[in-house]
Amino acid sequence: MSARYLVVGAGFAGSVMARELAEAGYRAHVIDRRPHVAGNAFDEHDSNGILVHRYGPHIFHTNGERIFAYLSRFTEWRPYEHRVRGVVDGTSYPFPINRDTLNQLYGLDLDEAGAAALFERVREPRDPVVTSEDVVLNSVGRDLYEKFFLNYTRKQWGLDPSELKAGVAARIPVRTDTDDRYFTDTFQAMPKDGYTRMFERMLDHPNITVELGVEFDNVRAAEDFDHIVYTGPIDAFFGFRFGHLPYRSLRFEHEYLPDVDQYQETGTINYPNDHAYTRITEFKHLTGQVHAGTSIVREYPQAEGDPYYPVPRAENEALFKRYEALAKEESNVTFVGRLAQYRYYNMDQVVGAALAAARQLID
Ligand code: FAD
Ligand code: UDP
């Protein structure tokens, strides 16, 4: 009999692992406590027939040709370059900050060199750059920090940028040109029939079985598996032995607007300084769907609820390291994914991590 794997979680980490194991001839039994596959990338048609992302907007982008090619086995793509604007004092500006943002905000007519000179004049050099506050002040200075970053970050994380590692704000570039795309990756596209369909195809293999609405704790003792692939929160696996690792949550407020063809000019609009939500996303921009109405989602950050984001700060990473040390002693368990590795991974990075972890098990 070939080895039996229990895969906990049917998101990117679990599904890619299951597929790789299955193709190597092993049997993979995938469980998820949710009633659906695809993890946080799950999409569905709402009651009005618009394809929406239940857990917030997911835009696929990667520089990894291998990762894009891998997923392309399970989906065709719709090219899509995401654009975002940030509203400050009632006016929306291109975000990430670029030359047009500066010219519009300050009533200037800067060229590329002029924009670079402005950043050089207003920046507050920091050395070393350790926190997210350091990153932003070091590159664009205090005024732009306070207009676009400070309050958004406080709202999103419940923390001051000075309490978060540099990597959080460093996700956002600063530009002297007029490129207004959110991402500049080589591959930027949405799965043509949606994420859920892509996952269904990935999991469609004779060696894979999927059981939904199943809690790991209810099967971990009962069933006999040779190896476990665990993609849930690492602290939960160990019964919170060292205390809870903070994960930031969100509440999603979905709304359908009948007879509105287009609600906003870009896929996402960020509201750094107003409202309890951080941003509004209009799905038709992402999917290209044609429909008489439109569906949007507002994201309200909160401490409690489903774990969505690891919180990158030094003390949390120290706590994670203690759990990671326990994980290393579990020779029959592989920990992979955003929650199990406690890393602020994008989807493509989770695919990369899962492919690497699968190789370790197969070779
Ligand atoms: P998950 O998708 O969280 O899957 C883990 C699964 O395990 C879940 O389905 C969960 O139900 C299940 N599970 C956990 N514990 C148990 C248990 N005890 N028993 C049974 N099942 C369990 N990435 C991008 O690249 N682009 C984006 O635009 C983007 N936007 C995002 C927007 C939001 C609001 C969020 C929250 C994330 C976004 N991401 C984006 C990140 C992306 O969602 C993740 O990188 C990816 O989905 C992580 O996959 P995963 O398999 O590691 O985890
Ligand atoms: N950020 C900000 N203002 C914005 C957008 C982002 O201050 O208008 C900061 C904030 O700390 C946020 C981080 O940059 O958490 C990363 O933003 P991104 O859009 O990548 O977050 P995600 O899509 O992962 O929620």
Does residue 34 have its Cβ closer than 6 Å to ligand 1?
A: yes
Does residue 272 have its Cβ closer than 6 Å to ligand 2?
A: yes
If you take atom 14 of ligand 2, which residue's CA is the nearest one?
A: 169
Q: Is residue 212 part of a domain?
A: yes
How far does residue 169's CA lie from ligand 2's centre (Å)?
7
Does residue 86 have its Cβ closer than 6 Å to ligand 2?
A: yes
Domain that includes residue 213, residue range? 4-52+192-246+310-362
Does residue 71 have its Cβ closer than 6 Å to ligand 1?
A: no
Q: Is 315 in the same domain as 238?
A: yes
Q: Alpha-carbon dihedral of residues 120, 126, 129, 131, nearest 10 degrees? A: -100
Q: Is residue 130 part of a domain?
A: yes
Task: Look at residue 1 in the predicted model and tell me its pLDDT.
Answer: 60
Q: Is residue 279 part of a domain?
A: no
Q: Is 231 in the same domain as 329?
A: yes
Q: Is 197 in the same domain as 332?
A: yes
Alpha-carbon distances, residue 237 vs 40, 343, 351 (angstroms): 19, 16, 21
Say which amino acid occupies 34: R
Q: Residue for token digits 């020779």? A: 331
Contact (Cβ atoms closer than 8 angstroms) between residue 226 and residue 5: yes
CB atoms within 10 A of CB 290: 7
Task: Look at residue 222 in the predicted model and tell me its pLDDT.
Answer: 74
Task: Please name the residues in contact with 87: beta carbons below 8 A apart, sequence gap of 6 or more.
Answer: 93, 269, 270, 271, 272, 273, 274
Does residue 210 have its Cβ closer than 6 Å to ligand 1?
A: no
Q: Is 147 in the same domain as 239?
A: no
Q: Is 29 in the same domain as 158?
A: no
Q: What would the pLDDT profile of 50-65 be if each residue is shown by its tens digit?
A: 999 999 999 999 999 9
Choose the residue to mutate in 216, 218, 231 for probing ligand 1, maximizing ligand atoms within 8 Å of C-beta. Answer: 231
If you take atom 12 of ligand 2, which residue's CA is the nearest one?
A: 153
Residue 182 CA: nearest ligand 2 atom is 19
Does residue 148 have its Cβ closer than 6 Å to ligand 2?
A: yes
Instruction: Choose one of 135, 169, 203: the last residue of a domain.
Output: 169
The bound ligand whose nearest atom lies closest to the alpha carbon of 217 is 1
Q: Is residue 227 part of a domain?
A: yes
CA 333 to chain centre: 24
Q: What would the pLDDT profile of 208-233 be if each residue is shown by its tens digit?
A: 999 999 999 999 887 789 999 999 99
Q: How far is 8 from 29, CA to CA, in rounded Å?
A: 8
Q: How far is 100 from 93, CA to CA, in rounded Å?
A: 8
Alpha-carbon distances, residue 128 vs 125, 145, 180 (angstroms): 9, 18, 29
Contact (Cβ atoms closer than 8 angstroms) between residue 339 and residue 307: yes
Q: Is residue 75 part of a domain?
A: no
Q: Residue for token digits 């203690």? A: 322
Q: How far is 124 from 317, CA to CA, in rounded Å?
A: 27
Q: Is 228 in the same domain as 321?
A: yes
Task: Look at residue 224 in the predicted model and tell me its pLDDT.
Answer: 85
DSSP strands (E only) in 75-162: 77-79, 84-88, 91-95
Does residue 53 have its Cβ closer than 6 Å to ligand 1?
A: no
Q: How far is 3 from 87, CA to CA, in rounded Å?
A: 54
Q: Is 226 in the same domain as 314?
A: yes
What is the CB-side half-sphere exposure of residue 14 using CA atoms within 13 A? Answer: 35
How far does residue 300's CA lie from ligand 2's centre (Å)?
13
Q: What is the model's pTM?
A: 0.98
The bound ligand whose nearest atom lies closest to the alpha carbon of 37 is 1
The bound ligand whose nearest atom lies closest to the alpha carbon of 187 is 1
Q: Is 339 in the same domain as 207?
A: yes
Task: Look at residue 180 in the predicted model and tell me its pLDDT.
Answer: 98
Q: Is 111 in the same domain as 162?
A: yes
Compute φ and ψ for 355, nearest 5 degrees. Answer: -60, -40
How far does residue 278's CA lie from ligand 2's centre (Å)?
9
Q: How far is 341 from 321, CA to CA, in rounded Å?
A: 10
Q: Alpha-carbon dihedral of residues 309, 310, 312, 314, nearest 10 degrees? A: 160
DSSP H or E segment with residue 198: helix 195-203
If you take atom 9 of ligand 2, which residue's CA is the nearest one?
A: 169
Q: Is 30 in the same domain as 158?
A: no
How far does residue 157's CA lie from ligand 2's centre (Å)?
10
Q: Is residue 236 part of a domain?
A: yes
Does residue 277 have its Cβ closer than 6 Å to ligand 2?
A: no
Beta bridge partners of residue 208, listed in sequence order: 28
User: β-strand 247-257 against 309-310: which pairing, if any?
Assistant: antiparallel
Q: How far is 87 from 203, CA to CA, in rounded Å?
A: 41
Q: Is 135 in the same domain as 196?
A: no
Per-residue pLDDT of the chain (363 residues; tens, 9 = 90+): 678 999 999 999 999 999 999 999 999 999 999 999 999 999 999 999 999 999 999 999 999 999 999 999 999 999 999 999 999 999 999 999 999 999 999 999 999 999 999 999 999 999 999 999 999 999 999 999 999 999 999 999 999 999 999 999 999 999 999 999 999 999 999 999 999 999 999 999 999 999 999 999 999 887 789 999 999 999 999 999 999 999 999 999 999 999 999 999 999 999 999 999 999 999 999 999 999 999 999 999 999 999 999 999 999 999 999 999 999 999 999 999 999 999 999 999 999 999 999 999 998
Does residue 270 have its Cβ closer than 6 Å to ligand 2?
A: yes
Q: Is 201 in the same domain as 158?
A: no
How many structural domains are present in the chain? 2
Q: What is the DSSP track for 335-350?
A: E-STTTTT----HHHH
Task: Look at residue 190 in the predicted model and tell me its pLDDT.
Answer: 98
Q: Is residue 259 part of a domain?
A: no
Q: Is residue 266 part of a domain?
A: no
CATH number at residue 224: 3.40.50.720
Beta bridge partners of residue 30, listed in sequence order: 7, 210
